[in-house]
Amino acid sequence: MIKLAGLGKVALESNFKKLDKPYKLNFAITYWCQSRCMTCNIWQFKPKGELSIDEIRTFAKKNTSFKWIELTGGEPFLRPDIVEIAKAFYENSKGLYILTMPTNSLCSHDLIVRRIKEMLDIGIPKIAITISLDGYRELHDKIRGVPGNYDRAITTFKKLHDLQKDYKNLYFVFGYTMSGYNEGQFQRTFDAVKNDIPYIKYKDFHMNLGQISSNYYGNSNLDMLAKRKSVADELETIISKRERGFGIIPRIEDTFLKKLAEYVRTDSMPMKSKSLDASLFLDSFGNIFPSIMWDQKVGNVRDIGYDLKNVWHGELANSIRDAIDNGKEPKQWTSCEAYQSITGNITSLIK
């Protein structure tokens, strides 16, 4: 509870001032990926020179303000040292409350469950896993480009459900990415999953929107949404069916979804961004960006002694913040950045 209070305190402070240090780190620990997604080109990368575990440990030791860390990819569980990465941040960011990770479920189920269990045993107060699932069996396998991927995602969910009986600090959901490839297919997907997992609920799905990013997804050549209005309508229908949650986290998720529908419908940012203030995006090569959607490089940790303070208040970083304040940041609404925008605009939770 103390660490949750610490996260809440700094999130509240971000409503009234620019923070001296970021509290959220979005970190792509690898670009290796077994998927062949239609919505993303990361799988086409053949990365070389990614940050080593020793470099990550050095970065963690020199940057200790993180309360929330997202380890993403590629497929994060392809890094054999993922537990050591989590441990490095836990041992150095004393206020770390939550660690979040997605998975495509294509690694061995035994490996995924074992790695998650090892991370839970470290002592991190909350670990949240998002299991990618973009459609019913045939549709998901088509979008992800891997036969059998749907069944692997279902099995991952069931195994984490079993693991949760012993670890109350484990949270997990399906991550459903909406795009032109699965437009109007959520209800059919939910019904299919309900057939495989009878206890599933609408709140067990986290809704994402397929978006464009040259510095992360490498998909600037794609058109994600064919019919924005129909996607917004579908989102609003899903929102109306979701079970009501209690507490601040469900409230933030509810606000995220409502603003996501607004973003799709209006094609404009729902609220002021907190990029390069509350958070940053670090890629697997050490490049620092304001967000996963903005190809505006701030620097590289290898060039600054792995210490963010050497660029965080520099001329370039400040000029980027001015651009953000003036509405020049590329339009986006992803959970990686949206949650800290919501808690940094607290009145959005009161409405």
The residues spanned by each domain of the chain are 30-60+134-158+174-350
Return the pLDDT at 330.
85
| Confidence (pLDDT) at 314 | 95
Which of the residue ranges 34-38, 179-183, 186-190 has the most confident prediction, judged by mean pLDDT? 186-190
Residue with tokens 């002592």: 123
Whole-angstrom CA distances from 268 to 261, 271, 293 are 11, 9, 14
Structure confidence at residue 349 (pLDDT): 61
Residue 325 has pLDDT above 60, yes or no: yes
Q: In the predicted model, what is the mean pLDDT of the chain?
A: 92
pLDDT for 322: 94
pTM greater than the 0.85 cutoff: yes
Q: Which residue is it, tokens 């997605």? A: 102
Phi and psi dihedrals of 280, rounded to 5? Answer: -150, 165
In tens, the pLDDT along 182-226 reads 999 999 999 999 999 999 999 999 999 887 777 777 766 666 665
- DSSP helix, strand, coil percent of the chain (3-state; round to 5): 45, 15, 40
**How many whole angstroms separate alpha carbon 269 and alpha carbon 337?**
12
pLDDT one-digit tens code per residue, 84-125? 999 999 999 989 999 999 999 999 999 999 999 999 999 999
pLDDT band at 327 (very low <50, low <70, confident <90, very high): confident
Residues 275, 266 contacting (CB under 8 angstroms): no
